[in-house]
Amino acid sequence: MMYGLTPFSRNTFSLFNALDEMDKDFFGGSMPMNSCRTDIRDEGEKYIMESELAGFEKDDIKLDINGDYLVISAEHKSESADNDNKDNSNNHRYIRRERIYGSYRRSFGISDVDAESITAEYKNGLLKIELPKKKPQEPVAKRLEIK
Protein backbone atom coordinates (compact mmCIF):
# COMPACT_ATOMS: atom_id res chain seq x y z
CA MET A 1 0.00 0.00 0.00
CA MET A 2 1.21 3.50 -0.71
CA TYR A 3 0.90 6.45 1.62
CA GLY A 4 2.61 9.79 1.24
CA LEU A 5 4.18 11.18 4.38
CA THR A 6 2.70 14.62 3.96
CA PRO A 7 -1.00 15.34 3.62
CA PHE A 8 -2.29 17.20 0.57
CA SER A 9 0.69 16.23 -1.52
CA ARG A 10 0.34 16.25 -5.27
CA ASN A 11 -1.20 12.98 -6.39
CA THR A 12 -0.22 11.84 -9.86
CA PHE A 13 -1.04 8.53 -11.47
CA SER A 14 1.21 5.80 -10.21
CA LEU A 15 1.20 2.08 -10.68
CA PHE A 16 1.56 1.82 -6.88
CA ASN A 17 -1.64 3.84 -6.39
CA ALA A 18 -3.51 1.73 -8.95
CA LEU A 19 -2.41 -1.47 -7.20
CA ASP A 20 -3.38 0.05 -3.85
CA GLU A 21 -6.91 0.78 -5.11
CA MET A 22 -7.19 -2.75 -6.51
CA ASP A 23 -6.04 -4.11 -3.13
CA LYS A 24 -8.65 -2.00 -1.30
CA ASP A 25 -11.40 -3.20 -3.66
CA PHE A 26 -10.42 -6.84 -3.19
CA PHE A 27 -10.18 -6.65 0.59
CA GLY A 28 -13.24 -4.43 1.00
CA GLY A 29 -11.27 -1.43 2.22
CA SER A 30 -9.65 -3.26 5.10
CA MET A 31 -6.00 -4.09 5.36
CA PRO A 32 -4.88 -7.64 4.54
CA MET A 33 -4.18 -9.80 7.55
CA ASN A 34 -0.46 -9.99 6.86
CA SER A 35 0.13 -6.25 6.52
CA CYS A 36 1.61 -4.09 9.22
CA ARG A 37 -0.17 -1.19 10.81
CA THR A 38 1.82 2.02 10.52
CA ASP A 39 1.52 5.37 12.30
CA ILE A 40 3.28 8.49 11.02
CA ARG A 41 3.75 11.59 13.18
CA ASP A 42 5.00 15.01 12.13
CA GLU A 43 7.37 16.28 14.83
CA GLY A 44 8.40 19.55 13.21
CA GLU A 45 11.86 18.86 11.81
CA LYS A 46 11.26 15.14 11.28
CA TYR A 47 8.63 12.46 10.77
CA ILE A 48 8.41 9.44 13.04
CA MET A 49 7.05 6.26 11.47
CA GLU A 50 6.15 3.30 13.67
CA SER A 51 5.17 -0.03 12.12
CA GLU A 52 3.94 -3.09 14.00
CA LEU A 53 5.95 -6.11 12.91
CA ALA A 54 5.22 -8.59 15.68
CA GLY A 55 6.75 -12.01 15.16
CA PHE A 56 9.50 -10.85 12.82
CA GLU A 57 13.18 -11.12 13.54
CA LYS A 58 15.28 -8.04 12.79
CA ASP A 59 17.04 -9.91 9.96
CA ASP A 60 13.66 -10.62 8.30
CA ILE A 61 13.01 -6.89 7.76
CA LYS A 62 14.48 -4.89 4.88
CA LEU A 63 14.35 -1.11 4.39
CA ASP A 64 15.20 0.16 0.91
CA ILE A 65 15.13 3.57 -0.69
CA ASN A 66 13.98 3.41 -4.29
CA GLY A 67 13.93 6.89 -5.82
CA ASP A 68 11.48 8.95 -3.75
CA TYR A 69 10.04 5.92 -1.95
CA LEU A 70 10.93 4.13 1.26
CA VAL A 71 10.10 0.45 0.88
CA ILE A 72 9.55 -1.73 3.95
CA SER A 73 9.53 -5.45 3.25
CA ALA A 74 9.44 -8.34 5.65
CA GLU A 75 9.25 -12.10 5.29
CA HIS A 76 8.32 -14.76 7.80
CA LYS A 77 10.39 -17.84 7.23
CA SER A 78 8.51 -21.06 7.80
CA GLU A 79 8.60 -24.72 6.94
CA SER A 80 7.25 -25.76 3.58
CA ALA A 81 3.61 -26.78 3.26
CA ASP A 82 4.69 -30.40 2.70
CA ASN A 83 6.22 -30.50 6.16
CA ASP A 84 3.09 -29.07 7.80
CA ASN A 85 1.13 -32.31 7.51
CA LYS A 86 3.79 -34.81 8.49
CA ASP A 87 6.30 -35.23 11.25
CA ASN A 88 9.31 -32.98 11.06
CA SER A 89 12.66 -33.47 12.75
CA ASN A 90 11.15 -32.52 16.15
CA ASN A 91 8.34 -35.11 15.80
CA HIS A 92 5.68 -32.36 15.92
CA ARG A 93 2.66 -32.06 13.66
CA TYR A 94 0.39 -29.08 13.30
CA ILE A 95 -3.21 -29.73 14.23
CA ARG A 96 -4.18 -26.15 13.40
CA ARG A 97 -2.20 -23.21 11.94
CA GLU A 98 -3.57 -19.68 12.32
CA ARG A 99 -0.40 -17.62 12.25
CA ILE A 100 0.30 -16.12 8.88
CA TYR A 101 3.55 -16.90 7.12
CA GLY A 102 4.70 -15.18 4.02
CA SER A 103 5.90 -11.74 3.05
CA TYR A 104 4.64 -8.26 2.45
CA ARG A 105 5.89 -4.97 1.12
CA ARG A 106 4.81 -1.36 1.70
CA SER A 107 5.99 1.83 0.07
CA PHE A 108 5.89 5.38 1.41
CA GLY A 109 6.62 8.60 -0.50
CA ILE A 110 9.62 10.42 0.96
CA SER A 111 10.19 13.25 -1.52
CA ASP A 112 10.43 15.83 1.30
CA VAL A 113 12.73 13.69 3.50
CA ASP A 114 16.53 13.83 3.82
CA ALA A 115 17.07 10.22 2.71
CA GLU A 116 20.73 10.22 3.79
CA SER A 117 19.79 10.84 7.44
CA ILE A 118 17.04 8.24 7.93
CA THR A 119 17.56 6.00 10.96
CA ALA A 120 15.65 2.90 12.08
CA GLU A 121 15.37 0.79 15.22
CA TYR A 122 13.49 -2.48 15.79
CA LYS A 123 12.49 -3.40 19.32
CA ASN A 124 9.70 -5.57 20.78
CA GLY A 125 7.91 -5.98 17.44
CA LEU A 126 7.88 -2.25 16.64
CA LEU A 127 9.93 -0.75 13.81
CA LYS A 128 10.60 2.93 14.52
CA ILE A 129 11.96 5.02 11.65
CA GLU A 130 13.09 8.64 12.02
CA LEU A 131 12.81 10.59 8.78
CA PRO A 132 14.41 14.07 9.00
CA LYS A 133 12.78 16.62 6.71
CA LYS A 134 14.80 18.30 3.98
CA LYS A 135 15.95 21.78 4.91
CA PRO A 136 14.31 24.45 2.76
CA GLN A 137 16.83 25.73 0.25
CA GLU A 138 17.50 29.42 -0.01
CA PRO A 139 16.98 30.78 -3.52
CA VAL A 140 20.30 31.22 -5.28
CA ALA A 141 21.07 34.79 -6.30
CA LYS A 142 23.74 35.47 -8.85
CA ARG A 143 24.48 37.99 -11.56
CA LEU A 144 24.60 36.79 -15.15
CA GLU A 145 27.16 38.03 -17.60
CA ILE A 146 25.84 39.81 -20.65
CA LYS A 147 27.58 38.83 -23.90
pLDDT tens by residue, 80-99:
444 444 444 566 787 887 76
Return the pLDDT at 143.
87
Global pTM value = 0.61
Q: How far apart are CA 72 and CA 88, in angstroms?
A: 32
In angstroms and rounded to an integer, the radius of gyration of the C-alpha atoms of the chain is: 21
Q: Which residue has the higher pLDDT, 34 or 46?
A: 46
**Is residue 48 a contact partner of residue 35, using CB atoms and an 8 Å limit?**
no
Q: What is the pLDDT of residues 122-135, one digit of tens each?
A: 999 999 999 999 98
Q: Domains along the chain?
A: 2-132 (2.60.40.790)
Could you give the percent of the chain with pLDDT greater than 70? 64
Residue 25 belongs to what H/E stretch? helix 15-26
The 8-class DSSP code of residue 134 comes to P
Residue 124 belongs to what H/E stretch? none
- pLDDT of 35 over the 80 cut: no
Return the pLDDT at 2.
46
Return the pLDDT at 24.
52
